[in-house]
Amino acid sequence: MTVSAPAGYTYDDHALPASPVSAAELEQLKASVLFTDDDAAALAMAGDVLADQITDVLDTWYGFVGSHPHLVAYFADRDGEPIKSYLDAVYHRFGRWILDTCRRPYDERWLAYQEEIALRHTPAKKNKTDGVDSVPVVPLRYLIAFIYPITATMRPFLAKKGHSEADVERMHAAWFKSVTLQVALWSRPYAEREW
Ligand code: HEM
């Protein structure tokens, strides 16, 4: 990797624990969300479309979070004041995630980092990576609800590089499936026994 990793981004760390989710369970989950090799190819195309638009995408999403006090609260200190260094650190890891979603193989390491992202939204690991004193958990209901804005806001960016309507639709559908798949994986530590 030529670009240095953002602070706290441990995708490529050798010490990253394996996911409790098996490769077979991942395959079944992919089948359940109708994720196919064609979606992987469409995401690879999306990666090329999005690579130079990451800042614009993130600014859109942060604008959305920032305009809803009940959401920005999860980046705030105990007095409800947003922690700028926390927002900034997550911003850079979020940017990596967009490209990882498009370009990384969905293999065991990807699964392991999926579990890590899940835990970072829960009391097990939230705040620890950035050493902040914020609220201890992002409620699962908001992770699920976010699938819509994270998907709907992506379409104009996918359409910006002159691809046919059919290709934009393929990329957008693949993105929607992947985000749904990932949030399903992230629900695991919230549900544990029932997962
Ligand atoms: C962290 C994605 C929902 C608040 C992250 C990271 C990603 C991400 C990629 C950084 C992971 C890393 O450390 O490498 C998503 C996606 C969501 C979602 C795709 C839904 C589809 C939410 C919601 C909130 C939220 C609804 C609440 C406003 C946070 C916070 C962190 C974080 C506070 C930092 C956690 C920490 O302390 O490490 N998210 N997120 N996320 N997200 Fe989310």
Whole-number Å distance, alpha carbon 21 to ligand 1 midpoint, is 20
**Pocket of ligand 1 from Cβ distances under 6 Å:** 8-9, 65, 71, 74-75, 90, 93-94, 97, 117, 120-121, 126-127, 129-130, 138, 142-143, 146-147, 150, 179, 183
Question: Tens of pLDDT along 116-169?
Answer: 999 999 999 999 999 999 999 999 999 999 999 999 999 999 999 999 999 999
Q: Which domain holds residue 161?
A: 23-190
As for how many domains the chain has, the answer is 1
Q: Which of 3, 175, 187, 6 is nearest to 98 (CA)?
A: 175
Residue 15 lies in a domain: no
Q: How far is CA 14 from CA 11, 89, 99, 109, 143, in A?
A: 9, 22, 20, 10, 28
Q: Which of 64, 100, 104, 138 to mutate to test the pocket of ligand 1 (most atoms within 8 A of CB)?
A: 138
CA of 8, closest atom in ligand 1: 13
Establish if 180 belongs to a structural domain.
Answer: yes
30 located within any domain:
yes
Q: Is residue 13 part of a domain?
A: no
State the pTM of this model: 0.97
**78 burial type by CB count under 10 A (0-12 exposed, 13-18 middle, 19+ buried):** exposed
159 assigned to some structural domain:
yes
Q: Which of 101, 120, 128 has most ligand 1 atoms within 8 Å of CB, for mutation?
A: 120
Nearest-angstrom CA–CA distance, 7 and 4? 9
Q: What are 44-70's pLDDT values in tens digits?
A: 999 999 999 999 999 999 999 999 999
CATH of the domain at 39: 1.10.490.10
**pLDDT tens-digit readout, 86-107:** 999 999 999 999 999 999 999 9
- The 10s digit of each residue's pLDDT in 23-45 is 999 999 999 999 999 999 999 99
Longest CA–CA separation in the chain, Å:
49
ipTM score assigned to the predicted complex:
0.99
Q: Residue 77: helix, strand or coil by DSSP? A: strand
Residue 2, domain member (yes or no): no
